[in-house]
Structure 1
Amino acid sequence: MERDNQKFHGEGRRKFVKQSSLIAGGLLAMPLLSKANYFSGSSDVIKIALIGCGGRGTGAAIQALSTKQNVQLVAMADAFADRLQGSYDNIKDALNEAGKSDRLKVSDNNRFVGFDAYKKAIAEADVVILTTPPGFRPIHFEEAIAQGKHVFMEKPVATDPAGIKKVLEAAAVAKQKKLNVVVGLQRRYQNSYRELYKRAQDGIIGDILSVQVWWNQGALWVKPRKPEYTEMEYQMRNWYYFNWLCGDHIVEQHIHNIDVGNWFKNATPASAVGMGGRAVRTGKEYGEIFDHHAVEYRFADGVAMNSQCRHWKDAPSKVDEEIVGTKGRIYCDRAQIVDHKGKVLYQFDKKKENNPYQTEHDELFDSIAKGEFKFQDAERGAQATLSAIIGRLATYSGQVIEWNTALNSGLDLQPKTYAFDAPPPVMPDASGNYAYARPGITKYFS
């Protein structure tokens, strides 16, 4: 691959792609492809399994079941029975209201609970929806691809570099098997963003000089500890506040904006440096994550992407991206392009906006029904996730974090054993407090 700093960030990007290519090239001939690749039309039922029955999983299942194809939800899996039941009830209500109750076909025997439940649910389906806390995403994606299933998986696709490597390996197998994979970075499926990107590629703002991205919002939910909870269950119920499960909000949420920056730049960052901490959200109930991050990403050509994300109650919210070029700038949220004197060069007609969450599924299931192989989102999902991860490592350590160093570090946050009576990777002290990173003190790489 030739060096082109406008498209790729250099050695880091090339090695990232090369690694996945080598993985694919080293595979032996695959067995006969799953029948999921050969749907010929609406007369064929496309069977869906939902892995992870929280709010996002419930929403994703409803969206999948709202496509025009002949689809049925046939299996569900979650670590918790109460979450599975709640999701089932909400899906049932939504389908009844839409007049599509015949699409819910989850028998009692196909409701699987526990850490290994995903394997059983995947076996029942042609398409798998992966919406558990992201720490589980690599092993669930690996299993879905091993079983020959098409996949919709939410972002992020991992919480640590070891998970990124696992996703890349499975992505290579998915390409060999011609399995469609869509990742829930929905801005790439949104009409306004697609139109803005198209015009950026046509040169309307010239060469990109800088990128600014934000996900600043208020506080989120916390679930109180109950006496019957083991430490593992408590952390899984409050997954957002533990890095092995969530990756911190820079990874779990801000990945959307970071991905937009990567997308418009046609590159991934070579390095990250930044600052962050726990200024407001300091209680033990907030686990180990920070409440704010500010990161300066650098692409190989020297262009910076400045990133902010925070969770502060009663502070102004901003979730947006701005791309500045030699001829003008793009304001993504307002779907507008202007020159440097403020003249509007392009304004997207908001009447033509779509629901990108629905479009993700519409396009995925259309491709599956036609027997097409159109979606290979896993690799770029891994790129966006690693971009966010190096931002977290930078703010936690206070050091410059290089892309290649992080990718090849082997850093693994996952527990040795997935069980409710097993210890999670981080444990509270006698007062119930969790250790958290100290910039300038915490070290990841020598």
Structure 2
Amino acid sequence: MSDQDTSKILSEITRRDFTKKASVGAAAVGMAPLLFPNVGAAEGGAKKKFKVGVVGLGGRGSGAVKDILRADPDTILWAAGDIFEDRMKRIGSFEKQFSGRVDTDGGKRHFVGFDAYQKVIDSGVDIVLLTSTPAFRPLHFEAAVAAGKHVFLEKPIALDIPGLKSVVESAKKAQSNGLSVLTGLVWRYSPHLMELHKRIQDGEIGDVLTASSAYSGGGRPNKMPDIKYKPASMSDMEWAQRYWQSYLELGGDGILEFMIHGIDRMSWAMGDGIPVKCYANGANIHPVKGANSWDSFSLRYEYADGRIADFLGRQIPGTYSPSGDTIVGTKGQALAKGHNMSIVRDGKTVWQKGGGLGYVNEHKILTKHIRKGEVYNDVLDKMANSHVVGIMGRTAAYTGKLITGKQIMSSKDLLIETKGMTFDTPFTARPAAMPGKTKFV
């Protein structure tokens, strides 16, 4: 696929396009299902025991295993892989919690190493959960699709434009081959927020004029110690993999590792298009020695029809940590504050609802589509675009320059090469970005 073809997939849409999309009845689940013969339909999908493999048994990998086992009683954990052997111990907790639903052949389908992903894919699984260090996502996704597997693709799905174009190409191949793909942008599958956006798309606040979103936390996840404490026997790459959230090259910075949820919500409200312009600010206010990821971002986007959207994100201990959206329309406002949703018109709340995150619901949607012989794919035109928006904002903040949609899609900056990587692969983190000095690549 050419860059031009991929750019068409990651295309800008106007407000008219958004209104047209909103009339489609499948808005509540992301996209209209496509009908293809697939593994679920071809082999008695309604009752088939789906064999699940997981690549990456960190926090989200362990969570995703539990979520899919809760979502569909006819799933079993068949294989697991990670670059760290100690994480295999977590499988014992699955066996205790989900009796009779873990069958890894006495541990023979526990795979350790940088090639573990391929061994999981080749083990006979039906569905693969790709939840390892995010830098590996394009490589692992390409391999899973090539092997004919349905995929749960944890966020972030790519960290740079070259990687994102690879993911989009793989997603197109998956769709053509009757394979379902669902990403881990969990708010999209949280029922109360799904209902809010369905109401927005049905016109309850009129035409959307602007959105202001925030996604903040009280500190960095898995905070890295001062690098001086790295054991002499540990390679630089192993240390970086242990603390990947601190490194741009492996986690994409906080804007993609964490704040992508809020950026995706903002993008959803604005119609899932790519902005034409972005300028931004950000900083490493409480830097971690040896790391290069920032802890705060403030972004402003302009769309082709002149609408503006704003985003604030930070991960600084002891600070006010707002998360939510204010979506302003011609007839009212939609408010998403934490887990509470409401619609306000003429100063009066006309609808409100609360709820939890859709960690289990997203896996219900994935497995139900597979069992019905329907293809689900939320990468194309939706979550891929949200990642463009995130990368665009990060680049604008890093450089201190005005970045256009066309410009960001031309980026050739591959943050790191993961093919053939081992713990012996040399790793030196880039210097932390300095606005006004860091250049666009």
Q: TM-score range by the shorter chain?
A: 0.7 to 0.9
Greater shift after overlay, 36-45 or 126-135? 36-45
Secondary structure of 1:420's aligned partner: coil
- The residue aligned with 1:243 is 248
- The residue aligned with 2:426 is 423
Aligned pair in 2 of structure 1 residues 4, 293: CA closer, same or farther (>3 Å)? Answer: closer
Secondary structure of 2:216's aligned partner: strand
CA contact (8 A) 1:56 1:131 kept: yes
User: What are structure 1's unaligned runs of at least 5 residues?
Assistant: 10-31, 96-100, 428-433
- The residue aligned with 2:3 is none
User: What are structure 2's unaligned runs of at least 5 residues?
Assistant: 1-7, 19-35
- How far apart, in 2, do the equivalents of 1:385 and 1:151 lie? 18
Aligned length: 403
CA contact (8 A) 1:40 1:370 kept: no
- The residue aligned with 1:165 is 165
What amino acid is the match of 2:58?
G
What amino acid is the match of 1:410?
K
- How far apart, in 1, do the equivalents of 2:356 and 2:218 lie? 26
Greater shift after overlay, 231-240 or 398-407? 398-407
Secondary structure of 2:374's aligned partner: coil
- How far apart, in 2, do the equivalents of 1:49 and 1:316 lie? 39
- How far apart, in 2, do the equivalents of 1:3 and 1:233 lie? 39
Write out per-residue CA displacement over residues 295-342 of structure 1, whole angstroms, 9 at most, x where no aligned residue: 101111111111111111111111111111122111112210112x42
CA contact (8 A) 1:153 1:182 kept: yes
Aligned pair in 2 of structure 1 residues 188, 102: CA closer, same or farther (>3 Å)? Answer: same
- How far apart, in 2, do the equivalents of 1:399 and 1:293 lie? 14
Write out per-residue CA displacement over residues 40-92 of structure 1, whole angstroms, 9 at most, x where no aligned residue: 2454221110011001100100111113342111100111101232x212322
- The residue aligned with 1:430 is none
Task: Work out which of the residue numbers 84, 89, 92 in structure 2 matches 1:89.
Answer: 92
- How far apart, in 2, do the equivalents of 1:291 and 1:180 lie? 34
- How far apart, in 1, do the equivalents of 2:378 and 2:246 lie? 27
1:143 to partner: Cα distance: 0.6
Secondary structure of 2:54's aligned partner: strand
1:36 to partner: Cα distance: 4.9
- The residue aligned with 1:5 is 14
TM-score of the superposed pair, with normalisation by structure 2 = 0.87
Greater shift after overlay, 408-417 or 310-319? 408-417
- How far apart, in 2, do the equivalents of 1:143 and 1:163 lie? 14
Task: Work out which of the residue numbers 303, 328, 334 in structure 2 matches 1:330.
Answer: 334
The 4+ residue runs of structure 1 with deviation greater than 3 A are: 1-4, 32-37
Greater shift after overlay, 360-369 or 45-54? 360-369
- How far apart, in 2, do the equivalents of 1:167 and 1:362 lie? 23
Aligned pair in 2 of structure 1 residues 49, 204: CA closer, same or farther (>3 Å)? Answer: same
Aligned pair in 2 of structure 1 residues 275, 335: CA closer, same or farther (>3 Å)? Answer: same
- How far apart, in 2, do the equivalents of 1:298 and 1:389 lie? 15
1:8 to partner: Cα distance: 5.4
1:408 to partner: Cα distance: 2.5
1:4 to partner: Cα distance: 5.9
Aligned pair in 2 of structure 1 residues 7, 248: CA closer, same or farther (>3 Å)? Answer: farther
What amino acid is the match of 2:109?
N
What amino acid is the match of 2:111?
F
Secondary structure of 1:284's aligned partner: coil
- The residue aligned with 1:21 is none
CA contact (8 A) 2:183 2:379 kept: yes
- How far apart, in 2, do the equivalents of 1:363 and 1:209 lie? 30
Task: Work out which of the residue numbers 310, 313, 316 in structure 2 matches 1:312.
Answer: 316
- How far apart, in 2, do the equivalents of 1:41 and 1:81 lie? 34
CA contact (8 A) 2:163 2:414 kept: yes
Aligned pair in 2 of structure 1 residues 89, 403: CA closer, same or farther (>3 Å)? Answer: farther
Q: Kindly report the root-mean-square deviation, in angstroms, between the aligned alpha carbons of the 2 structures.
A: 2.1
- How far apart, in 2, do the equivalents of 1:163 and 1:347 lie? 39
- The residue aligned with 2:261 is 256
Aligned pair in 2 of structure 1 residues 272, 93: CA closer, same or farther (>3 Å)? Answer: farther
CA contact (8 A) 1:38 1:369 kept: no
What amino acid is the match of 2:284?
R
- The residue aligned with 2:127 is 127
Is 1:229–2:241 an aligned residue pair? no
CA contact (8 A) 1:165 1:407 kept: no
- How far apart, in 2, do the equivalents of 1:443 and 1:115 lie? 32
Q: How does 1:43-442 map to 2 (within 5 A)?
A: 43-85=47-89, 87-95=90-98, 101-107=99-105, 108-124=107-123, 125-220=125-220, 221-224=222-225, 225-266=230-271, 267-279=273-285, 281-285=286-290, 287-333=291-337, 334-339=340-345, 341-348=346-353, 350=354, 353=355, 355-373=357-375, 375-379=376-380, 380-415=382-417, 417-424=420-427, 426-427=428-429, 435-442=431-438
Write out per-residue CA displacement over residues 230-281 of structure 1, whole angstroms, 9 at most, x where no aligned residue: 00001010000111211111111111111112212212322211011112x2
CA contact (8 A) 2:37 2:373 kept: no
- How far apart, in 2, do the equivalents of 1:277 and 1:113 lie? 37
Aligned pair in 2 of structure 1 residues 222, 49: CA closer, same or farther (>3 Å)? Answer: same
- How far apart, in 2, do the equivalents of 1:415 and 1:234 lie? 17
Secondary structure of 1:345's aligned partner: strand
Aligned pair in 2 of structure 1 residues 355, 309: CA closer, same or farther (>3 Å)? Answer: closer
- How far apart, in 2, do the equivalents of 1:252 and 1:5 lie? 28
